[in-house]
Chain A
Amino acid sequence: MNATAAASAAPSAAASTVLAVNNIEVIYDHVILVLKGVSLTVPEGGIVALLGANGAGKSTTLKAISNLLAAERGDVTKGSIEFRGTRVDKLTANELVRMGVCQVMEGRHCFQHLTVEENLLTGAFTRKQSRGELAAALESVYHYFPRLKQRRASQSGYTSGGEQQMTAIGRALMARPTMILLDEPSMGLAPQIVEEIFGIVQDLNRKERVSFLLAEQNTMVALRFAHYGYILENGRVVMDGEASDLSTNEDVKEFYLGLSTAGRKSFRDVKHYRRRKRWLA
């Protein structure tokens, strides 16, 4: 698949598209315009990275998709969101989880006073299943996260940041999603743990065919594991492309990886670059 084909979002037409976000606008508190027309697609079995600096609107995009905005007085005022060809922007979070889309929120949000295993079990809330099926689901999560099995009886609030991130992902898996919206899994974690977690994400993607939309500030790592990437700036997509192309792109290197072949540029150049990028996008 080449970059332009994936970028020109053809909603529901392409059979392999799991998620299509078409030109959405998000407003908080009726006045704060945060997303100014964001479009992106996630193909079946893809890992798509949503990159950008603090406050670019990554989390807002994910919450718009998972319908968690209402609780923060946010509202999708324009555009549409389709999951497997069905409009989902008016559903509740509960209905969306039942359809197979689950969000792992930024900052993990484990249930602190519940044990690790209880956290996982709450993830299965929307599924009506027998005790046997539930136990099997737990085992399969423990298969991917052996550390969680060791800590299963610990209160989640007392486990490490990495373990909490694993708990949060495992909890989402218990809902048997086909698509996971993963918000900043690397936040505040040591590099080895980040590697470990991304490795598991890749595993889940390959073996369980879970598609991922991944919001990350850690551009370098995200582009290594993702197939495709979108760069968000100030509520707009300013660039998108194959992950391998993005990670070799000079602008991306300059702004998001802090690398540059031509040495450090002046702030004026940076501004010029940014402007040019907007126009190009």
Chain B
Amino acid sequence: MAFFIETLIGGLLSGVMYALVALGFVLIYKASGVFNFAQGALVFFAAATFVGLLETGLPFWLAIVATLAAMVVVGLATERFVLRPLVNQPQITLFMVTIGLTFFLEGLTQMIWGSQPRALDIGIEDVPVEWLIERFNISVSRFDVFAASVALVLFAVLAVFFQKTRIGRALRAVADDHQAAMSIGIPLQQIWGIVWAAAGFVALVAGIMWGARNGVQFALTFTALKALPVLILGGFESIPGAILGGLIIGAIEKLAEVYVGPMFGGGIESWVAYIVALMFLLVRPEGLFGEKHIDRV
């Protein structure tokens, strides 16, 4: 039993990390209907920039602030120079553009910071929380707990931002009906700029957490692919969906690896999520929390 719980908790905690990446997708999709394939590249860019700045001797907090500024600039520039000229174009065009953006960002990152993998130490060790071992005989990584806590704080901040602030309300309004939003004077472009900047911020947090866990390397861009099943499960437009979807995928991956994996000779962790997502797609294509369309005349 203790082992099951241990596996489950480990899965949930890594699921929070998936949710972190999925969240970046949801923000942009919700507000502008663009499936931003480049979210993974943003994560890579953020992590590499942060490590690179740390290596130049910048203090930790200053590096965070500087990277955040860089992310906001990249986000605003993407909106201004890539998406704005393409407004009113078909979704598939916008999607292709974000694929192009992915390669551009990957190239840019490696050009500035080089392509060798680097370790990122944020001072939290990947060792079991002693208290949990003594008390319940469950081994849970301290780093995972820390990362999950940071993610939860981020989710809470975003929730308050969306629910309680003027800009947050305007963001939800644009997501609901952008024509009506324009008619009452909400400038769409400004809102899209803010959303891209927010997605950049989320990418930074994800980049630091993933980078600290697995090293800062090119493979970080593939976190985007990890987020895909999460999005299918949670729905592309739902923030709670992204979080819950992340948790479920994380838990399933770990549990399946431990309990089902041996039947297939192991190594199913990397693809079981896609199988789950595919099965789910057949049953509920709009996702767990995909926005219900309110039909009423």
Given known A-B contacts A111-B176, A122-B169, A161 and B185 have beta carbons under 8 A apart: no
The answer to whether the Cβ of B291 comes within 8 Å of any Cβ in the partner chain is: yes
- Whether the pair A111, B180 counts as a contact (CB closer than 8 A) is yes
Residue numbers in B under 8 Å from A188 (CB-CB): 297
- Whether the pair B176, A114 counts as a contact (CB closer than 8 A) is yes
The answer to whether the Cβ of A85 comes within 8 Å of any Cβ in the partner chain is: no
- Whether the pair B183, A105 counts as a contact (CB closer than 8 A) is yes
The answer to whether the Cβ of A37 comes within 8 Å of any Cβ in the partner chain is: no
Residue with the greatest number of chain A CB neighbours at <10 A, chosen from B88, B170, B184: B184
Which residues of B are in contact with A by a Cβ distance under 8 Å? 88, 166, 169-170, 172-173, 176-187, 291, 294, 296-297
Given known A-B contacts A114-B169, A118-B169, A158-B294, A98 and B176 have beta carbons under 8 A apart: no
The answer to whether the Cβ of A112 comes within 8 Å of any Cβ in the partner chain is: yes
CB distance from A229 to the nearest CB of B (A): 24
Residue numbers in A under 8 Å from B184 (CB-CB): 97, 102, 122-123, 125-126, 171-172, 174-175
Given known A-B contacts A73-B88, A92-B187, A109 and B177 have beta carbons under 8 A apart: yes
CB distance from A122 to the nearest CB of B (A): 5
A98 to B166, CA, bound (A): 16
- Whether the pair A68, B182 counts as a contact (CB closer than 8 A) is yes
Total contacts A-B at CB 8 Å: 87
Majority secondary structure, A binding face: mixed
Q: For chain A residues 100-136, which have a beta carbon within 8 Å of chain B?
A: 102-105, 109-114, 118-119, 121-126
Closest to B186 in A: A125
Closest to B166 in A: A125
A59 to B294, CA, bound (A): 25
Q: List 21 A-B contacts (CB under 8 A).
A: A92-B187, A93-B182, A94-B187, A98-B185, A109-B177, A109-B183, A111-B176, A111-B181, A112-B294, A113-B176, A114-B169, A114-B172, A125-B170, A125-B184, A125-B186, A126-B184, A126-B186, A155-B294, A172-B183, A174-B184, A175-B184
Q: Which of A109, A118, A174 contacts B180 (CB 8 A)?
A: A109
- Whether the pair A122, B182 counts as a contact (CB closer than 8 A) is no
Given known A-B contacts A114-B173, A157-B296, A126 and B185 have beta carbons under 8 A apart: yes
The answer to whether the Cβ of A66 comes within 8 Å of any Cβ in the partner chain is: yes
- Whether the pair B169, A161 counts as a contact (CB closer than 8 A) is no
